[in-house]
Chains A and B, each alone.
Chain A
Amino acid sequence: MRSGMLDGCKVNGKIYTLPCYTHLANLYVNTALFKKAGAKIPTTYQELFDAGTKLKAAGITPAVIGEKDRWPGMYWFDIMAMRQAGNSACIEAFKNPTKFNSEDFIKAADKLQKLAKAGFFNSSMFSMSYDEMLAAFNAGKAAMLFQANWVNAGIEADDSKTKGNVEVVAFPVFQDGKGKATEFFGGGQDGFYVNNATKNPKEAVGFLTYLSEELGTQGYLAGAGLPCWNTDSLDTSKLSSLDKEDSKLLSTGKSFITWWDNILPAESAETHKNLIAELLASKITPQEFCKQMAQLKATELTF
């Protein structure tokens, strides 16, 4: 089991499941389009903004969001909040949402809205679905995509126009922010659970441990997800380059926060996504956004 993978599986210090594989959200950049616009792959917020300006000047859509489904936009805000406030501050806010109404979160919301106002995202984002977003990126219609590694297969498909032209990098760090490049968005895990009323607990646990490791390792090789298990003994030569890059990024990770709509209670998750959509459309100010975020309900998960 890789280090850090069990953190999300413990309640009161007891391990409840052994996860199989996981997913990580990172920034996908179309290197061919970046070269065409003379833009540099960004490592800071300012570089991200400047890359957007250069790409727009070359007539290329800097980034594509399928905001009709609302969660693609959520990914952008969540990572920016994590870069501005740092992962631990975000976790504190999940436990006490009034903390969302604070300077760092307002700054993150403001930065996202600045990107939107500058035309960083496709103008059709509110009628574009998640699938259409992937189709647009894979067809080379936008230079950046912030998504999880499940998009790798589509990018590297034989009929994809962007095959071989995409690199995956950690989301830029904010120089005035508290988040580090070793903090990641994702890392949530699915695992198997055993009912404590079962007749053969030892056998069940033994089997599920085996199943989890097999799924984790073989699934990784098949491109199903990033491994929670140790992969030193595996032959990873047949893996796609994007999967290998993602795996490298995973191994640098020190802190993981999974998708916020899985952490927040259902109704609050919906409100969170709707507020982000309004932020992207400039229908509310960053201050009003954080005021309403402060009214969300606390997470029911234990951190």
Chain B
Amino acid sequence: MNSVFSNKKAICIFVLPTFLLFIVIVFVPIVVSSYYSLLDWNGVGHGTFIGLQNYVEMFTSSRALNAMKNSLLFAAASIFIQLPISLLLALILASGVKGEGFYRSVYFIPVLISTVVVAQLWSKIYNADYGLLNTFLKSVGLGSWAQDWLGQTNTALVASFIPTLWQYVGYHMLLMYAGAKSVSKDILEAAKIDGASGPRIAFSITIPLMKPILKVCLIFSMIGALKVFDLIYVLTGGGPFFTTEVPSTLMYTTIFDTYRYGYGSAISVFIILECLFFTLLINKFFKTE
């Protein structure tokens, strides 16, 4: 075994297939997209080179800026609403409640369901005419609150946050649960003997020791929110009147509805750089801690 690991040639050979796959499927498309983002191209024939004009248009277009704002709001909701809920659930489950295994599975089930199915489910819940939400409100006497959740400009964005947050709570909970469980039992026992209460233990011992896992969850949650596409696309298509539009749905519309491959590629490069930027930011934040 040791001889295999220490043999650099062996390492190279075993890593090579996946490395090639990664280069071809991930790296090359990014480079090609970056090239397309410098063109004005309708997808057929040759495009005209226009340099950074697509980027200038993107940062001066109110529609693109609105999309970016929406994706940042999604990211904020993911970090400040979804992660705390996941953390709370993880800590409760890790402290040894009855039915720990059962709850762990139940909370994880939404993660397993395809995003399109989740979107269809919630669009039926939000349906203005026969949806579960409006029917429930009417039955408890709050009929005046029943409205067209996904069709009104003032409710659509918040309404589309909820399925996004709901679906991945279990995923982050599971990661944090694993992190919480890995805290040494000795420390916890010592703290209990010293008379520390549950919340005190959580804040002073468990959470600080879970920092690496928290960092991973933060990065995944943030990037997932910045890139969100299928849920928004199926729920609202970016509407009504662009109130739920995010960069990825704008990119889709730009490329496939208006045939502007250059501008669409610029948006995709922006999303990549945005995710990279925030990842580095979060890494830096955790390093200085």
Q: List 29 A-B contacts (CB under 8 A).
A: A68-B237, A68-B240, A70-B239, A122-B129, A124-B127, A124-B128, A124-B151, A125-B151, A126-B148, A126-B151, A126-B239, A126-B240, A127-B123, A127-B126, A127-B127, A127-B148, A127-B149, A127-B150, A127-B151, A127-B236, A128-B128, A128-B151, A266-B257, A267-B259, A267-B260, A270-B253, A270-B257, A270-B258, A274-B241
Q: Given A68-B151, A127-B151, does the pair A283, B241 have CB atoms closer than 8 Å?
A: yes
Min CB distance B122 to A, Å, is 12
Mostly, the B contact residues are: loop
CA distance A211 to B103 in the complex (A): 61
Residues 247-277 (chain B) with a chain A CB within 8 angstroms: 253, 257-260
Q: Does A69 contact B (CB under 8 A)?
A: yes
The 8 Å CB contact of A124, one of B129, B239, B258, is B129
Q: Are B240 and A127 in contact (CB under 8 A)?
A: yes
Residues 248-303 (chain A) with a chain B CB within 8 angstroms: 266-267, 270, 274, 277-278, 281, 283
Q: Are B148 and A267 in contact (CB under 8 A)?
A: no
CA distance A270 to B260 in the complex (A): 12
Q: Does B152 contact A (CB under 8 A)?
A: yes
Mostly, the A contact residues are: helix
Q: Given A124-B148, A267-B260, does the pair A278, B126 have CB atoms closer than 8 Å?
A: no
Please give the number of chain A residues whose Cβ is less than 8 angstroms from any Cβ of chain B in the complex. 20
Residues 227-244 (chain B) with a chain A CB within 8 angstroms: 236-237, 239-241
Give the contact-size bracket for chain B. 20 to 34
Q: How many A-B residue pairs have CB under 8 A?
A: 54
Min CB distance B167 to A, Å, is 20
* Proximity bits, A112-136, B CB within 8 Å = 1, else 0: 0000000000111111100000001
Q: Are A267 and B258 in contact (CB under 8 A)?
A: yes
* Proximity bits, A55-77, B CB within 8 Å = 1, else 0: 00000000000001110000000
By a CB distance below 8 angstroms, the chain B residues around A281 are: 240-241
Residues 197-248 (chain B) with a chain A CB within 8 angstroms: 236-237, 239-241
Closest 8 CB pairs of A and B: A127-B151, A126-B151, A124-B128, A127-B150, A267-B258, A126-B240, A266-B258, A266-B259
